[in-house]
Chains A and B, each alone.
Chain A
């Protein structure tokens, strides 16, 4: 672990150099520990794949003090050796039908797999939430099976419909709101990913796990899924 200054009220804590479950576990545990023990001096935390960006109140602690506090807060977690089993698994229903899986054909062509195979491979495993960013609630999930890995679209869509489930490299993600984006879209969830009026705000957090459950058109509609934005 290393702690480096970024600017007068921000530093970054690195837990490793490559994406993986071990870094993700340390990031999750450290984020919780910092939240718990340093809430009075920390103004913002940005956990990501291998690091946590920490902003702090300069009127309360300086660059030396923050390193000392972060070291203390993260020291405790290195001992917590056993794989953390308290990690939540969030199940997301996804309709993979052709009218919402906008890039299904491109994925099939690139991978040489049938649509059924792509859906089966995508929905049979549990993914780790490595990072949230790009837009509020946009969760980067990994890693997908190499067989369905595909580069981003060469020309991004100007508007990706809310709830779209996409692929990029060996990552997969859900668009929580309608934004421009270049991920290859294979389905859509009727589940609301972000809700400013709810207590938790975002459905998933860094460190959670996600599993996709394939649903049919009728269930998608029953769960409030919408085709309107097509």
Chain B
């Protein structure tokens, strides 16, 4: 019961929701760069929400099905095709033995998620198969390897068929300029009113330097009153400002502690939307607060639980 990797493309990684409980010894969480898309893919198939999927960055992944299967594709539109027929994300597809699943080039967004009914099977390391190459953890065999040609993505056979689509109201448009809510915190008070004003009124651009650790933005430089700080834990979505004044948003593979001042933090859902943007995309920030991000997340969790037409209830 497997899909065979004919071509891994730019970057295809096994991810579950992440590796939790080991940050105190310096192990980062990893996990899906876009939680919204990842969680919906599992929800469409009525999988456990943490079930392992493939995160495809940019595209070029090609798979051959050695068995019938039911899959879901969510997130970026990477020009996916099944047997050369274009297919859209945010819904399920029936796959037959011998079918070819292919992701070509980004149409909108940067990262797509491919889930299979029941989830892909992978070795657990520290309780998770989230691939963090830098740490040599996660992936199919637990050693941090990204998918390579010839890999077999194993799963359990599934007899039924699932026809489900994510509700329209849940579909983001990754081509829109992005406005992100900043929860003030960390060293926020050490940025003067003028520096904050610059930060909240500038249109930043996503730079070439983006990866699973962090997103470097370019635009108006902002300075805090601090040269450095006593190193402290870095939350997912934290916005770090090094001495050159160009903000860096810390993502899923971030290091656990760091010594640069931080102006605040994004919510996980907002950070996930940033992860769908590539170099050149426009990003701006507005002052939000923790109450708003808490409410937004709880509402998302409820909508996810409720599901959609075709998705069975838990």
Most buried by A among B230, B233, B294: B233
Interface residues in A101-135 (C-beta closer than 8 Å to B): 131-135
Chain A: interface residue total (CB-CB under 8 A) = 44
A19 interface residue per 8 A CB criterion:
yes
User: How far apart are the CA atoms of A62 and B298 in the complex, in Å?
Assistant: 10
Collect the chain B residues with CB atoms within 8 Å of residue A194's CB. Answer: 25
A40 interface residue per 8 A CB criterion:
no
User: How far apart are the CA atoms of A230 and B268 in the complex, in Å?
Assistant: 42
B293 interface residue per 8 A CB criterion:
yes
Knowing A6-B183, A49-B231 are in contact, say whether A205-B294 is a contact too (CB < 8 A). Answer: no
Q: Chain A 123-153 against B: per-residue CB contact (8 Å), 1 yes, 0 no?
A: 0000000011111111010000000000000
Knowing A7-B267, A205-B24 are in contact, say whether A49-B232 is a contact too (CB < 8 A). Answer: yes
Collect the chain A residues with CB atoms within 8 Å of residue B186's CB. Answer: 4, 6, 12
B103 interface residue per 8 A CB criterion:
no
User: How far apart are the CA atoms of A47 and B21 in the complex, in Å?
Assistant: 12
The answer on a CB contact under 8 Å between B185 and A46 is no
The answer on a CB contact under 8 Å between B290 and A63 is yes
Collect the chain B residues with CB atoms within 8 Å of residue A53's CB. Answer: 23, 232-235
A18 interface residue per 8 A CB criterion:
yes
Closest chain B residue, CB of each to CB of A132: B26
The answer on a CB contact under 8 Å between A137 and B235 is no
User: How far apart are the CA atoms of A178 and B135 in the complex, in Å?
Assistant: 10
Q: Chain A 53-64 against B: per-residue CB contact (8 Å), 1 yes, 0 no?
A: 101001100110
Total inter-chain residue pairs, C-beta < 8 Å:
137
User: How far apart are the CA atoms of A18 and B294 in the complex, in Å?
Assistant: 31
The answer on a CB contact under 8 Å between B294 and A4 is no
Q: Chain B 171-208 against A: per-residue CB contact (8 Å), 1 yes, 0 no?
A: 00000000000010110000000000000000000000
User: How far apart are the CA atoms of A82 and B255 in the complex, in Å?
Assistant: 34
Knowing A4-B185, A8-B293, A10-B235 are in contact, say whether A133-B26 is a contact too (CB < 8 A). Answer: yes
Knowing A7-B236, A48-B230, A131-B257 are in contact, say whether A59-B22 is a contact too (CB < 8 A). Answer: no
Collect the chain A residues with CB atoms within 8 Å of residue B290's CB. Answer: 5-8, 63
A184 interface residue per 8 A CB criterion:
no
Q: Chain A 78-115 against B: per-residue CB contact (8 Å), 1 yes, 0 no?
A: 00000000000000000000000000000000000000
Chain A's nearest CB lies how many Å from the CB of B213?
A: 12
Interface residues in B265-307 (C-beta closer than 8 Å to A): 265-268, 290-291, 293-294, 296-298, 301
Q: Chain B 124-157 against A: per-residue CB contact (8 Å), 1 yes, 0 no?
A: 0110000000111100000000000000000000
Closest chain B residue, CB of each to CB of A177: B136
A164 interface residue per 8 A CB criterion:
no
Chain B's nearest CB lies how many Å from the CB of A66?
A: 11
B29 interface residue per 8 A CB criterion:
yes
The answer on a CB contact under 8 Å between B23 and A46 is yes
B238 interface residue per 8 A CB criterion:
yes
A45 interface residue per 8 A CB criterion:
yes
The answer on a CB contact under 8 Å between A136 and B231 is no
Closest chain B residue, CB of each to CB of A31: B24
Knowing A63-B290, A136-B26 are in contact, say whether A5-B235 is a contact too (CB < 8 A). Answer: no
Collect the chain A residues with CB atoms within 8 Å of residue B136's CB. Answer: 177
Collect the chain B residues with CB atoms within 8 Å of residue A59's CB. Answer: 301
The answer on a CB contact under 8 Å between A48 and B27 is no
- Which of A4, A17, A44 interacts with B230 by CB under 8 Å? A17
The answer on a CB contact under 8 Å between A43 and B21 is yes
Interface residues in B1-49 (C-beta closer than 8 Å to A): 20-27, 29
B59 interface residue per 8 A CB criterion:
no
A69 interface residue per 8 A CB criterion:
no
The answer on a CB contact under 8 Å between A48 and B183 is no
User: How far apart are the CA atoms of A17 and B190 in the complex, in Å?
Assistant: 14
Collect the chain B residues with CB atoms within 8 Å of residue A138's CB. Answer: 26
B79 interface residue per 8 A CB criterion:
no
The answer on a CB contact under 8 Å between B25 and A205 is yes
Closest chain B residue, CB of each to CB of A130: B231
Knowing A12-B186, A48-B233, A132-B26 are in contact, say whether A6-B294 is a contact too (CB < 8 A). Answer: no
User: How far apart are the CA atoms of A51 and B89 in the complex, in Å?
Assistant: 42
- Which of A52, A135, A140 interacts with B135 by CB under 8 Å? A135
The answer on a CB contact under 8 Å between B23 and A45 is yes
Query: Nearest 4 A-B pairs (CB), nearest first?
Result: A53-B233, A46-B233, A133-B257, A202-B25
Q: A44-B22, A44-B29, A201-B126 are in contact. List 14 more A-B contacts (CB 8 A).
A: A7-B183, A7-B236, A9-B297, A46-B24, A47-B24, A48-B230, A53-B235, A58-B297, A132-B26, A132-B257, A133-B257, A140-B231, A201-B22, A201-B25
A-B contact pairs, 25 of them (CB 8 A): A4-B186, A5-B290, A7-B237, A7-B267, A8-B267, A10-B235, A10-B236, A12-B235, A18-B230, A44-B24, A46-B234, A48-B231, A48-B257, A50-B230, A51-B230, A53-B232, A55-B23, A131-B231, A133-B257, A140-B231, A194-B25, A196-B126, A201-B126, A205-B25, A206-B24
